Amino acid sequence: MPASLQEARIKSLPSSAFYIADFITPEEEDVLLNKIKTAPKPRWKILTHRRLQTWPSDLTKNTLLHSPLPTWLVEPIITRLLAYPLSTDNPQNHIFTKSSHGAPNHVLINEYQPGQGIMPHKDGAAYFPAVCTVSLGSTLALDIYATNEDGTREAEPRWKILQEPRSLLITTDDLYTDYMHGIAEISEDLSLSRDTVANWDLLGSLESFTGGISQRSLRTSLTYRDVIKVSKLGNKFAMFGKS
């Protein structure tokens, strides 16, 4: 693994994104997929274009009801994220050093069948502006769109980031606040090359993509974020009351 996030920076993108291939091992991937699969059925929210689990719970008015994450979502990913230096100059500083709680407190698990995706969007102001995504199962491309002055997005994505299974992608700063991201509803990612894939040089198995095509299979993503507003149980009436 690179010595610090600086070495994992995707240099062709606006500031900032980082990509680390093989952030977790195949064994860790299996354990996570099994935990996700065996979670109680009501944990799944079924949407038309994907299904998802939210841990520890959904937000209400951008607020998280305080509750610890289960151990399997903390180990090994959060521990490894917090041990990862932003730069070798200040090895104690990590990606969540400046966030409200100094660590992610919320995880979304999205599952995509081939042909499924997510509309271009921004993640918004509820979170500290850094998202850490660990991908499981299959490679797919995340599309990055620039936005116009009036908030609408450009029709075509400016960049593609290829996310391999077991990789970590971090998006932060302007890329988090000013750009949109989405996943096209296709079953194979096409026209992959050094020119179209922003993180080409950081890929773990570059040789798999030299033909320019990547077939999708079931892909599961874990997105780790720090929700800024957290309410303790005692405040729950304030949270659900009129405001």
Ligand X SMILES: O=C(O)CCC(=O)C(=O)O
> Which residues neighbour 15 within 8 Å (Cβ) at sequence distance 6 or greater?
173, 174, 175
Under the binding rule (CB under 6 A), the answer on residue 123 touching ligand X is yes
CA angle 14, 199, 211 (to 5 degrees): 140
Contact 55, 107 (CB under 8 A): yes
Q: CA angle at residue 142 from 140 to 145, to 5 degrees?
A: 155
216 contact choice in Fe ion, ligand X, none (CB below 5 to 8 Å, kind-dependent)? none
Find the shortest distance in angstroms from Cβ 85 to ligand X: 24
**Residue 240, amino acid:** F
- For residues 4 and 142, which CB has a smaller minimum distance to ligand X in the complex? 142
* Peptide linkage before 56 cis (omega within 30 of 0): yes
For ligand X, what does the binding mask look like between residues 82 and 121, x meaning CB under 6 A?
Answer: --------------------------x-x-------x---
Distances (CA, A) of 142 to 2, 120, 165, 166: 22, 10, 13, 15
Q: Is 36 in the site for ligand X (CB under 6 A)?
A: no
214 binds, among ligand X, Fe ion, none (CB under 5 to 8 A by kind): none
Q: Which is nearer to ligand X, 123 or 185 (CB)?
A: 123
Which of 123, 158, 230, 239 lies at the binding interface for Fe ion (CB under 5 A)?
A: 123
Shortest gap between Cβ of 121 and Fe ion (angstroms)? 6
Q: Is 181 in the site for ligand X (CB under 6 A)?
A: yes
> 175-195 burial, b for 16+ CB within 10 Å, e for fewer?
bbeebbbbbbeeeebeebeee
Question: Interface residues with ligand X (CB under 6 A)?
Answer: 108, 110, 118, 123, 133, 142, 181, 221, 223
Query: Which chain residues interact with Fe ion by CB under 5 A?
Result: 123
